[in-house]
């Protein structure tokens, strides 16, 4: 499920998302409280694409605006730009044939549309350029929600491409009001470790000023942690997996691991065919991990790339280490981190470390993370 949009209208929270290449299609979920419970969802028939947005005009009519990307499994059949239609969110149907809306400046893959009403005008914010180095944020404006819309003279209004910034691939933004009443742009971007991005796309935020009716986002900057970070999970605690940072592939962490099967341990069973399976028996977090089992300590260490300009192509180093009960350490391998980075391994998510069962039953006593050096 790519790029859900969350909105609030007349006492209800809405989440709209397209389940790509699935019969479920575009689904709208509702809740009175964002913490839940949420509805089972209503499919909006007729929306074929990704990245749907939900907005209501002055009369309360709902509009779904989306990127018309048609997929056949994982293969792209067509990409027709940004489309929009009025929708019946209760009955689950479009009320008209989708119309073409503004689709950017001509860069590839216009997607991630979001509509806003401000000072009597409607603004359409989109991503274009693809999710890689050319990713950008562009905006258009017009008198009505259905257009016509005219692009900003300075489009794209945000793009780090060619700037030398350590923050790259910035795009897919949403305009929000901050806690102090200021306008903020929440977006996806990557940060470099040498020439590559080990953590893939992360969430960033930057300030927005307005000039002659157009938003002017500030350049996206790093905000590194000034102090070392340590996280520790003791699996003697039955609630150790309740932290929302845990993730699994295609399932919830609780479907992969059990904290109550053996006291003091987290039990992971290999039932899906190992790490190479479509849905491996794996739980993890987006950090480097130290895992203690019954008999050995397994450790993954990463170091920043050697100092030098990013065009040297150096990656960070990953070391796999095992220590026995006496404390004797054995270095199993040292790997080039470029092969576990967003630019090489996968375009969306980055490196995830965690625990898995290749075969049989594996039990873990605790899990610790230590990060320092601007990690």
Question: Of 217, 243, 271, which residue is a domain's last?
Answer: 217
Nearest Cα neighbor of 26 from 39, 8, 45 is: 45
**223 inside domain:** no
pLDDT at 291: 46
Q: 253 and 340: one domain?
A: yes
199 and 263 together in one domain: no
Whether 200 is covered by a domain: the verdict is yes
- Coil, strand, or helix at residue 324? coil
pLDDT tens-place values along the chain, 375 residues long: 889 999 999 999 999 999 877 889 999 999 999 999 999 999 999 998 999 999 999 999 999 999 998 777 667 777 889 999 999 999 999 999 999 999 999 999 999 999 999 999 999 999 999 988 899 999 999 999 999 999 999 999 999 988 888 899 999 999 999 999 999 999 999 988 877 888 899 999 999 999 999 999 999 999 888 888 898 999 888 788 888 889 998 889 989 998 878 888 999 999 998 888 988 999 998 754 444 475 788 888 988 877 665 556 678 889 999 988 888 899 999 999 888 888 888 667 788 888 999 989 999 998 998 887 655
Helix (H, G, I), strand (E, B) or coil at 310: helix
pLDDT given for residue 290 in this prediction: 44
Query: What integer pLDDT is reported at residue 239 of this predicted model?
Result: 84
Tokens of 244: 């929302």
Please give the pLDDT value at position 311.
53
Identify whether 323 is part of a domain: yes
Question: How many domains are contained in the chain?
Answer: 2
* Whether residue 67 is found in the same domain as residue 134: yes
User: Same domain for 56 and 97?
Assistant: yes
pTM of this prediction? 0.89
**CB contact at 8 A, 105 and 155:** yes
Largest CA distance in the chain: 73
φ, ψ of residue 337 in degrees (nearest 5): -65, -15
Say if residue 256 is in the same domain as residue 336.
Answer: yes
Burial category of 293 from C-beta neighbours within 10 Å (exposed 0-12, middle 13-18, buried 19 and up):
middle
Residue 222 in any domain: the answer is no
Phi and psi, residue 354, nearest 5°:
180, -150
Q: Does 84 lie in the same domain as 137?
A: yes
Among all chains, which residue has been given the structure tokens 């258009």?
Answer: 140
Of the CA atoms within 13 Å of residue 35, those in its CB half-sphere come to 1
Q: Residue 49, by phi and psi: left (phi above 0), alpha (psi -120 to 50) or beta?
A: left
What are the DSSP calls for 47-110, one per residue? --SEEEEEEE-TT--EEEEEEEEEEETTEEEEEEEEEEEEEETTTTEESSPPEE----SS-S--
Domain for residue 128, yes or no?
yes
Report the Cα 159 to chain-centroid distance in Å.
18
Final residue before a domain boundary, out of 156, 189, 217: 217
**Alpha-carbon Rg for the chain in angstroms:** 23
Domain check: are 201 and 249 in the same one? no
Instruction: Answer whether residue 224 is part of any domain.
Output: no
Q: Are residues 210 and 293 in the same domain?
A: no
Domain CATH for 250: 2.60.120.200
CATH number for 170: 2.115.10.20
Considering the domain architecture, whether residues 211 and 279 belong to the same structural domain is answered as no
Distance CA 287, CA 282 (A): 14
Q: Is 307 exposed, middle or buried (0-12, 13-18, 19+ CB in 10 A)?
A: exposed
The reply to whether 119 and 147 lie within a common domain is yes
> Running DSSP on this structure, what letter comes out for residue 369?
E
Last residue of a domain, one of 179, 194, 217: 217
**Of 304, 370, 297, nearest in space to 330 by CA:** 297
Which of 105, 95, 68 lies closest to 83, judged by CA? 68
Q: Is residue 134 part of a domain?
A: yes
Based on the domain organization, do 83 and 185 belong to the same domain? yes
3-state secondary structure of 255: helix
Q: Which helix (H) or strand (E) holds 117?
A: strand 111-118
Q: In terms of domains, do 164 and 295 share one? A: no
Considering the domain boundaries, does residue 248 fall inside one?
Answer: yes
Q: Which domain holds residue 301?
A: 229-371
């Amino acid at each position: 499920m790519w790029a859900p949009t969350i909105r609030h209208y007349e006492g209800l929270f809405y989440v709209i998302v397209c389940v790509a290449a699935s019969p479920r299609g575009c689904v709208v979920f509702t809740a009175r409280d964002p913490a839940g419970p949420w509805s089972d969802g209503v499919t909006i028939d007729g929306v074929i694409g990704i990245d749907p947005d939900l907005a209501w005009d002055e009369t309360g009519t709902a509009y779904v605006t989306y990127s018309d990307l048609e997929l056949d499994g994982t293969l792209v059949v067509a990409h027709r730009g940004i489309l929009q239609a009025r929708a019946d969110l209760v009955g689950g149907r479009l009320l008209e044939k989708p119309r073409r809306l503004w689709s950017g400046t001509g860069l590839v893959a216009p997607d991630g549309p979001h509509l806003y009403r401000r000072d009597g005008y409607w603004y359409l914010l989109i991503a274009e350029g693809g999710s890689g180095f050319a990713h950008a944020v562009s905006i258009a404006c017009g008198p009505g929600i259905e257009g016509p819309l005219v692009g900003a003279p300075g489009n794209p209004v945000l793009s780090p491409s060619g700037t030398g910034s350590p923050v790259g691939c910035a795009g897919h933004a949403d305009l929000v009001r901050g806690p102090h009443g200021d306008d903020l742009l929440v977006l996806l971007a990557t940060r470099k470790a040498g020439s590559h991005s080990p953590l893939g796309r992360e969430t960033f935020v930057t300030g927005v000023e307005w000039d002659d009716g157009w938003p002017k986002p500030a350049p996206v900057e790093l905000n590194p942690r000034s102090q070392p970070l340590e996280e520790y999970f003791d699996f003697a605690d039955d609630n150790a997996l309740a932290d929302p940072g845990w993730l699994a592939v295609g399932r919830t962490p609780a479907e992969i691991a059990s904290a109550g099967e053996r006291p003091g341990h987290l039990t992971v069973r290999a039932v899906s065919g190992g790490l190479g399976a479509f849905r491996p028996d794996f739980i993890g977090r987006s950090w480097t991990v130290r895992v203690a089992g019954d008999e050995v300590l397994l450790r993954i260490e990463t170091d920043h790339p050697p100092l030098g300009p990013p065009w040297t192509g150096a990656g960070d180093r990953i070391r796999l280490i095992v220590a026995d009960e006496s404390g004797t350490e054995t270095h199993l391998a040292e790997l080039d981190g470029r092969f576990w980075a967003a630019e090489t391994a996968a375009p969306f998510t980055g490196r995830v470390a965690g625990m898995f069962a290749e075969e049989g039953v594996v039990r873990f006593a605790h899990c610790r993370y230590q990060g320092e050096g601007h990690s």
